[in-house]
Amino acid sequence: MTRIMVFGTFDMVHPGHENLFQQARALAQEPHLIVSIATDKNVERIKGKKPRHSQTERRALVAANPLVDEAVIGDEAGYVEHIRALRPDIIALGYDQTGEYVDTLQEDLTKAGLSVNVMRLQAFEPERFKTSKLHDERNR
């Protein structure tokens, strides 16, 4: 079994997220997909606004997806210990994930003595399936 980890807010689960889960699972013959849900405080700090749904609601939504083997809520501060505890073999990043948790991820993992393969996944119709765009369309 290969433990594959993805991170995100997941305020909704749309076809772009399902494609992310499928791409991540395709990285191994016997995948175990772990989805780490950003905490409410981290979403607000990073995106500048609160998520529409609580971290508990978002975790439950993701956990109900048949492509997901394990859904967890991320750490409030940092991420290395969170990753160490979950022991992924692979971290699969979305095509658009950047910023404080991503830019130095491989370097931080190496410094912490963790051997994790970090991979970047492909976009899936980002002009149609991006949470911010879908929320905007629903609010019209």
Q: Token pair for residue 37? A: 């849900």
Instruction: Give the dihedral of Cα atoms 18, 22, 23, 24; nearest 10 deg.
Output: 100
Rounded Cα gap, residues 63 and 34, in angstroms: 9
Distances (CA, A) of 81 to 75, 111, 114, 121: 8, 12, 10, 23
* Catalytic hit among 49, 50, 111, 133: 49
- Residue 50 bears catalytic tag: no
The neighbouring-strand residues paired with 93 are 120
- Residue 41 bears catalytic tag: no
* Catalytic hit among 41, 47, 111, 130: 47
Q: Which residues does the annotation mark as catalytic?
A: 47, 49
